[in-house]
Structure 1
Amino acid sequence: MQVQNDTKPYDTINVTPMLDLAYVLLVVFILMTTASVQGLSITLPKPSNTPSSEHHELLVVQITAEGALLLNGAALTAQEIEQRLAAAKAADPKITVAIKGDGQASYEPVVKVIDLCNRLAVDMALVTSRIGT
């Protein structure tokens, strides 16, 4: 009885199981990333083609890098701004407050101004600028 000794090495590797595993991992990764992404639901205003003939007052509240509050360029405390906004709201219920925070300012004073506008039921807008301007 003679035993055959095949010492010939394999010259190919079966990569099908490895590719199956890679595809399964890819599908799991895609499903997990799309399932974990949650967005904010924002209702954007729709533009109208007719210009409004109504003109309402616009107040600008600025927050400096040091956290100081300015109302139309005049430095005021948060209580004084609240009083002025309440008085302006009584005079014109459709006033708008533009909130302009300095890029180096902490976020807390900006949030306080937003909360103040929400509390007074005043329309507000956040002023942004392009980087480098």
Structure 2
Amino acid sequence: MSDNPYLAHLNEGGKKDADAFNGLIPRKTTAEQAEKLENAAVNPFTGKTFSAKYQKILEGRRKLPVHAKRQEFLDMVHNNQFVVLVGETGSGKTTQIPQFLAYDELPHLKGKMIACTQPRRVAAC
């Protein structure tokens, strides 16, 4: 599990660096708070230094359409029990929304995980 970046928030390193999340209240975070953590030199989930590759990927993530709606999405999550998200292919729904939630729900502090399911329709001719 320690080498799987998708489970990094469950690593012991993340628990050691819980101070990075100090002051954040689960389900009450802002896009600005999350971006501050994303822009830091150290990954708050693992306690390891962010790589140059991470920085390049982060640049790409911020160009996705869903990024511009991050705060709006968080506001919807904070004010509703259920949210149904619909968007174009390639908008960042599957790759970014779970990350937005990881910074908002702070599941690693409770030993929890975020799951992303992907319902698909099979095209018929």
- TM-score tier after normalising by the smaller chain length: under 0.3
Per the normalisation by structure 2, the TM-score is: 0.27
Larger Rg: 1
Higher relative contact order (CA 8 A, sep 6+): 2
Please state which structure has a larger fraction of its residues in strand: 1
Per the normalisation by structure 1, the TM-score is: 0.26
Please state which structure has a larger fraction of its residues in helix: 2
